[in-house]
Structure 1
Amino acid sequence: MVTSVSHTLFVCTTCASVWQDGKRIGESGGQKLLNKLQNLAENWELRDQFPIQAVECMSACNRSCVVAFAAEGKLTYLFGDLVVDDSISAVLECASKYYAKENGLLPWSERPEPLKKGILAKIPSLS
């Protein structure tokens, strides 16, 4: 497993928000997704090596809820269309697979079902 590379799981907290008069009303779907991921990750073996980071907006509003996997020297993946209650364990499972891959490549056939059809971007690494 890769251990020297810094990994991050980004979660958009403004996804699936309800807005009124320029102000968010209630808890967004993204915030719910973040909260549930953080709760499940308390027992996740990679919680210290693959921190979960809230992001105010990832500009994929029409495909919410959105998460991204990023690491130095690896592909970056952006996934959307995630249903909060149906994708929590799948996100952490896929993050574990991403962590284990030297280049971060996540073939379609190896991704959990909720992350097979919701891919928004696969961005090459800088190195």
Structure 2
Amino acid sequence: MTQHTLFVCTTCASTWENGKRVGISGGERLLAQLAQQHAEWELREQFTLQPVSCMSACDRPCAVAFAAPGKHTFVFGKLSADEATLPEKAAAVLNCAELYFEKPDGLLAWAERPKPMRTVVSRVPPLSAARSA
């Protein structure tokens, strides 16, 4: 079985003072909620949860990405959430990850994704497709 990765930007929605990050970022809160739900998720063995220090989606925080060998990589944004909506946002991420897992090429139609997952920052073709183009 191909290993999938769910990347989560931990710098997203940070507060900065005097050039230094202060407190817990929105990305770190999202990661913590995802980790909690990931532990009970039926696909936890197929998806590695991977924190990333920056995904360069600063104008659309919080960002997550799905990647797997031979599949398109998707980077999603605008997943910032307050404490009350974090469980809902994390559930949408994992629901969308299930759809991604089922697709042999990883392509996800806009209409089939949960509403919080409709902001795509980028879609990168599989490395094998890029080499043959």
Percent identity of equivalent pairs: 54
The equivalent of 1:36 in structure 2 is: 33
Alpha-carbon separation, structure 1, partners of 2:65 and 2:24: 21
Q: Match for residue 50 of structure 1?
A: 47
Runs of 4+ in 1 over 3 A off after TM superposition: none
Give me the TM-score of the superposition, normalised by structure 2. Answer: 0.89
Matched with 2:75 is 78
Task: Judge conservation of contact 2:27–2:80 (CA < 8 Å) in 1.
Answer: no
Deviations 1:19-60 (Å, cap 9, x if unpaired)?
111211100000000000000111101111101100000011
**Aligned AA (2:117):** L
Q: Does 1:110 align with 2:112?
A: yes
Size of the alignment, in residue pairs?
123
Residue 120 of structure 1: aligned partner: 121
One-letter amino acid matched to 1:121: S
- Partners of 1:122 and 1:52 in 2: CA distance: 19
Q: Under a length normalisation based on structure 1, what TM-score does the superposition of the two structures give?
A: 0.93
Given residue 115 of structure 1, which amino acid in structure 2 is its aligned partner? M
| Paired position in structure 2 for 1:24 | 21
One-letter amino acid of the counterpart of residue 89, structure 2 = S
Which blocks of at least 5 consecutive residues in structure 2 are unaligned?
Answer: 129-133
- Could you tell me which residue of structure 1 aligns to residue 102 of structure 2? 100
Unaligned runs of 5+ in 1: none
